[in-house]
Amino acid sequence: MTPRKRYSVPLPGGRSLELGDRTLVMGILNITPDSFADGGVHYDLDRAVAAGMRMVADGADILDIGGESTRPGADEVGAEEEMRRVLPVIERLATETGVALSIDTYKASVAREAVSRGATIINDISGLLYDPQLGTVAAETRAALVLMHTRGRSAKMYAHAAYEDVVAEVRTELSGAMDRARSAGVRPESIILDPGFGFAKAAQHSFELLARLPALAELDRPILSGPSRKSFLKAALGDRLPADREWGTAAAVAASVLRGAHIIRVHGVREMADVVKVADRLRDSA
């Protein structure tokens, strides 16, 4: 059982994320027509808000709202279109729920508008590599900032999946992302790290990262784990569609909690919240 340090991550408005006593559940709310796991399901304001409310009722502590699919090979979406998709959803959920809202974007302009409408976390899949101004937005708005590890853009990320020691290299590159954030004025206590399962990684790289997740604790920041329905699970499960990978997701979520993750990011909130409760109870018993 991996020890898990406690952190208090400040949020705008005087709130904070208290991490470490229990694992927080981040529900994925994709407002896109082409997400790999649930494309088009929530591509409507009322349906998206209802889905977010249902996730909260099912146990989500955070809602992660995204308007652009980042699956391998996905087309990029312009900032205006991305804002058209996500801002109305954020505005509604900010008034109708009490949970923290995260904007899943790598664009500074989208992040700034999202925070102004109620988001308190910026979830950047690029680790501040795609838009240098995003760090400035995080610093100025005092939003929490999730820095995920990846290499290259979505369309060609697998061309960069070459590692001699994937854990050491991901740790080093996440440290570089932290340096970029601090240089932009982001407070160290506002940073959360994500190893980026499935992003610019072959299946064996993602499994090794999950197995050796405690190595990232050396960076002294909370860890977000997002294995939900990812294609790397097919290496163990066989060739299944994303919706048929929930049992595999459950195993990866349990492993994440037991290996020290502070937040797990999932599609099936109700089921994975139960997995987290049992895994947390195991941690407490140990």
For residue 148, being part of any structural domain is answered with yes
Counted domains in the chain: 1
**Residue 215: exposure state from Cβ atoms within 10 A (0-12, 13-18, ≥19):** middle
SS3 for 31? coil
The residue annotated as part of the active site, out of 117, 221, 259, 265, is: 265
The pTM of this model reads 0.94
- H or E segment to which residue 133 belongs: helix 133-141
- Catalytic site includes residue 84: no
For residue 57, being part of any structural domain is answered with yes
The residue annotated as part of the active site, out of 230, 245, 259, 283, is: 230
| pLDDT for res 41 | 52
For residue 181, being part of any structural domain is answered with yes
What pLDDT digit, counting tens, does each position of 166-202 carry? Answer: 999 999 999 999 999 999 999 999 999 999 999 999 9
For residue 162, being part of any structural domain is answered with yes
| pLDDT for res 286 | 86
* CATH number of the domain to which 228 belongs: 3.20.20.20
Structure tokens at 262: 């502070």
How much is the mean pLDDT over the chain? 93
Cβ neighbours of residue 214 under 8 Å, at least 6 residues apart? 2, 259, 260
For residue 157, give the nearest of 238, 71, 78 by alpha carbon.
71
Residue ranges making up the domain that contains 255 = 7-285
- Catalytic site includes residue 230: yes
